[in-house]
Structure 1
Amino acid sequence: MDVIVGGGVVGLSVAWRLAREGRPVTLVDPAPASGASHAAAGMLAPVSEVAYTE
């Protein structure tokens, strides 16, 4: 059995992938997908941070 600790974007993705392969998965998180995952949505924009001043 695989145990995933943390239900953020990475934890849920890994758990989903393992479950699709037919492996038993246990996800340990008191409130899945309620951490920083929703706050970081759309903030991966390296082009906007090219200038040193930003």
Structure 2
Amino acid sequence: MKYTADMEKAMQGSHHMGYADYCRKLENRLRVERKRQEEYNKCKHIVADLDSNIHR
């Protein structure tokens, strides 16, 4: 996959590091991926709550 300037900008905005820093250290990758997983889980819970409220 080709890494674009928009992807770099998003990485800087979300995680305060560039793609090169992300790739360079395993610690950085683990921190970013942990944060992504937490955000994903949080969104899943929000959607589940909304679905349960809609179907009442």
Give the TM-score, by structure 2 length.
0.27
Larger strand percent: 1
TM-score w.r.t. the length of structure 1 is 0.27
Higher helix share: 2
